[in-house]
Amino acid sequence: MQPPMKMRTTVWIIVLLFACAALAQADQLEKNLRRHLDYIASDAREGRGIGTKGLDEAADYIAQQLQSLGLAPAFDSSYFQPFEMGWGVTLGPNNYVSQSDLIIDTASGMMPLGFSSPGHLRGMVSFVGYGITAPEFNYDDFAGVESNGVIALCMTGEPGEFDTSSVFEGVNYTTHSTLRAKAANAKLHGAAALLIVEAPAYAGTATEVLRPPRADEPYMDCGIPALRITRAALSKLYPEFDLSALQKFIDGNTAPRSLALKGDTVSVSVDLTRRTVAVKNVAGIIPGDSSIIVIGAHYDHLGRGQSGSLEQKPGLIHNGADDNGSGTVSILELARLLKENPVRSTVMIAAFTAEETGIGGSGYLVKNFPKGIYRVRAMINLDMVGRVRKNSLTVMGCNTADEFKTIVEQANQETKFDVHCKGGGYGPSDHMSFYVADRPVLFLFSGAHEDYHRASDDVKKINFRDLAKVVKFTVNIARGIDGVSPALTFNRTLEPPEQGGTRFRSSFGSIPDFSAPDTLKGFLLAGVREGGAAQKAGLQRGDVLIRIGKVTVNNIYDLTYALQIYAPGDTVEVKYLHDNKERSAQAVLQQSTR
């Protein structure tokens, strides 16, 4: 039997009113996201780089929004969690290379590298070709020449770098060509300092200009004084030294032509001062029970092209609308929606700093979490969620808790994304800080694009309609996590991190703690990968790796170098600090997956 016409009309009016209300809410959500992002990713914020006014302005804006929504401060009476990080170096007055009465300073042809150790020394100079030791290519510039205690002199680049038939991977650069690798190799061979000169065959006709060290990137020194010197300055030190002829021989034969230089000793002085900058995480609390769901996103970016930029033109503002303005504005709207309709768990809305320099902000929060990280039920990370295409959304970390795949599937019933649910909890974003602390994590990501880490990542390219859907999806995920009783079942997955990068020969299976002070001598482990070489050797979270094989490890770059010179399957002695006590173990390096 059909209902009376009047009743059917009333039902349709009610349905229409609900539909209109839903559309109005969706429209308001999009407007709010756009309003927030117009501020966060404005040119006025100057790219939210570390140490910039724009980053502080973004932090203040986030805190003001959390306060206006009624969230409680996460850090006693403050929304801010401040800390300091090492950030670049400044040149002192005593930078020079000298010989007898000849002095070459920063104005006349020398310049310390940004990763140089400070120091003053005198010694003889040995030319060591390209400064490369590459057993995989049967090549060693340090063979047959005295290097212990000397000042090593090498060229930029690598043998035959414009030769498609070069054993050094043709015209593709290998890791041996980096200046850091050259410094690490010189240090390994006992050199007291390293001078690097531009290879003449690959130099242009313009006058050489040596740029001062950048003051806008992390500082990790290489363990010896390392500096650039111009060819003109080198010719003043050694007028009869024929660099071009030596390079021609090396490139033509793919064979070293190293030798000790004749003449007086040379003095090298590098005068650098470490810089530190104040940074801060921002977080607010929606009170609930004793367990905490953390929903976070990093709010820093690359300023005017800080370390990590892929922009060809220097000095351009990198607004980072997608990376990670999109995640930042999403958590502000998540704060609003979850404050209006709270879950049972306490919710922390966290905006992290220093992600672009190595997840430093989230690492600091995990190590200094209010009332203990054990209270965290799960962490949801939103990083680059503003460029959804073809309705596709990636969710990583689905295997870090038994319940996650079901939660994600149910959360998507409303939004109907084409969800790609991937397993592991490793990855180059803030969720990893929580994962290595044994917390279940999910990482939402709308995909890579051509504007990544470039000045073209602007607000006009954001897909606000689907960004609003991401926010709704995340609310539903949070409610699903909240509904699990008593707690999620944490899983440590076996998957390696999904990331590209420079070719590595070997893997140690260690996870760096980027929140460690840059003055720490050693490599602090945030964790070890399940089944990796480090775990099998007995290392664990909180240990400090200080040596691997014959390489002294002071920072991540030293470890990177060690993994280049040792092959998969090599057994190496590792030395590390556990509870400040030195230990040693044998580790079998594994094949790198990068």
User: Which tens digits make up the pLDDT trace of 146-205?
Assistant: 999 999 999 999 998 888 888 888 878 888 999 999 999 999 999 999 999 999 987 765
pLDDT at residue 272 in the model: 94
C-beta separation of 115 from 219 below 8 A: yes
pLDDT at residue 15 in the model: 47
pLDDT at residue 171 in the model: 78
pLDDT at residue 100 in the model: 94
For the 93-270 domain, the top CATH level (class) is: alpha beta
Name the DSSP class of 212.
P
Distance CA 441, CA 455 (A): 30
Domain range list for the chain: 5-87+277-482, 93-270, 506-591
Buried (b) or exposed (e) across 120-157, using 16+ Cβ within 10 A?
ebebbbbbbbbbbbbeebebbbbeebebeebbbbbbbb
Phi, psi of 270 (to 5 degrees): -120, 120
User: Which residues, 6+ apart, have CB-to-CB distance to 66 below 8 Å?
Assistant: 79, 282, 283, 284, 332, 335, 349
pLDDT at residue 521 in the model: 87
* CATH code of the domain made up of 506-591: 2.30.42.10
Q: What angle do CA 52, 56, 62 make, to 5 degrees?
A: 145
pLDDT at residue 175 in the model: 86
Low-confidence ranges of the chain (pLDDT < 50): 11, 15, 17, 19-20, 496-503
Grouping H, G, I as helix, E, B as strand and the rest as coil, residue 459 is helix
Q: What angle do CA 120, 121, 126 make, to 5 degrees?
A: 135
pLDDT at residue 4 in the model: 61
User: Which residues, 6+ apart, have CB-to-CB distance to 401 below 8 Å?
Assistant: 378, 440, 488, 489, 490, 491
pLDDT at residue 501 in the model: 38
Distance CA 57, CA 334 (A): 21
Q: Cis omega before residue 172 (within 30°)? A: no
User: Which residues, 6+ apart, have CB-to-CB distance to 594 below 8 Å?
Assistant: 499, 500, 501, 502, 503, 504, 507
Q: Within 10 A of 513 (CB to CB), how many other CB atoms are there? A: 25
For the 5-87+277-482 domain, the top CATH level (class) is: alpha beta
pLDDT at residue 3 in the model: 59
Longest dimension (CA), the chain: 110
pLDDT at residue 104 in the model: 98
